Amino acid sequence: MITELFFDSLLNLGPDWKVEKIEYDAESDEVDIFVKWEGSFLLGANEKIYDYRSLRRWRHLDIMQYKTFISARIPRVIDSTGKVKSLEVPWSDSMERHTYLFERSVIDLLLACKNQSKVAQLMRCGFNVVNRIIHLCSERGVERRDKEKIYKQLSIDEKFFQKGHNYIGVLSSPDDGYIIDVCEGRKKADCTQMLEKNLSKEQRLEVENISMDMWKAFISSAKEVLPHTKIVHDRFHLIKYLNDAVDKVRQREVKNHEVLRNSKYALLKNHANLTLNQFWKFDEIVKINFEVSKAWRLKECFKALFKCDDYQQAFTRYSDWSSFCNWENIKEVNKVVDMFNRNLKGVCNALIEKLSNGMAERLNGKIQEIKIHAKGYRKFENFRSAILFFHGGLNLYPHK
């Protein structure tokens, strides 16, 4: 009797539930705490206890080295209309087979190690239990989000998912530093659905800027769902396109110029980060004035265009730069300039705004960490829940 009173005090399930008995199974090293309803037979004016469901078991936090379960027969109540339903229990959600305290411990361990298999091993439960908690918490967290929150800035990026050119679209908030949602695929329909699902009509009107690369599907969906929002092409992607052009020129010219061998990083790295050998290699190439040297100068000139004061200044300076590119007439650079011209407004916006996909790229790196810990994901649903669980900025914990 003293033991039951002790566990009554520890569990603190309220006045209507009392610990009836405790059983220990030596073979399985499991402890069962049997809890009994001792509340009133009548529940309010219109409800009363109808019967009791069969015995149910919930996984609870371990007692010492023993796996512990709470077991109980839940009362069913009947109202004046004859409708029968089960009572809610204070230690768990009605559809779950684990307690709130067990769920909290799983969440803490997941946030610490980000590995579902290890957490299942530490908590001595099945992998499916941990996986279900991730799904449950991410869904619950998304539902708890402030539906009236104002997003002034948004970012859309893509992330490789599986072999075969399978990608996911990632919508994030650069100001808050978390992922709002992900969609399976990067087609216009996928991105459009993701934007419409996560942003109400009122929220869409408040978005001032959205950053992205030059993927047509992202641009089309943003123009359709957020017609009043300024599209800003990510400055890091713009520089990357030019870096790729410089490297292609180098690859073309290295066949005829021995000095260009082993010069890739001397030309592509930031000047301040060059090693001594790379610096001498770079200095030698620039003095000879190959086409790759001219392409490198054009790239550096473009980098100098950032931080324009207004759109008119950005447009004028960009026009001067593109004219200079045409005069140099380097085919690899011309392809990039043609692409920039097709997306001129977004490029000029990038020269004015501070917004970029920098935060989105950092979040992509964190998504990659999730993939590495899990050794890949086969189902998009599991991948999405894990991304939102770890980097969705969600309120994950059960209230009780």
- Confidence at residue 254, expressed as pLDDT on a 0 to 100 scale: 73
Q: What is the pLDDT of residue 356?
A: 80
**What CA–CA distances, in Å, run from 328 to 22, 121, 183, 339, 341?**
85, 63, 42, 17, 17
Going from N- to C-terminal start, the domains of the chain cover 1-94, 153-234+375-391, 240-352
| CA-based end-to-end distance of the chain | 28
pTM, entire model? 0.86
Tallying the residues shown for the chain, one arrives at: 400
Give ∠ CA 313-316-319 in degrees, rounded to 5.
Answer: 145
Q: How far apart are CA 21 and CA 7, in angstroms?
A: 10
Chain centroid to CA 342: how far?
30
- For residue 400, the model assigns a pLDDT of 57
pLDDT of res. 189: 94
Q: What is the mean pLDDT of each run of 10 residues along the chain (400 residues)?
A: 79 89 89 90 77 93 92 90 88 91 96 93 94 95 92 92 82 94 93 94 94 93 94 91 89 73 66 69 69 85 90 94 92 94 94 85 89 86 95 89
Backbone dihedral region for residue 70 (phi beyond 0: left; psi -120 to 50: alpha; all else: beta)? beta
- What CATH architecture is 153-234+375-391? 2-Layer Sandwich (3.30)
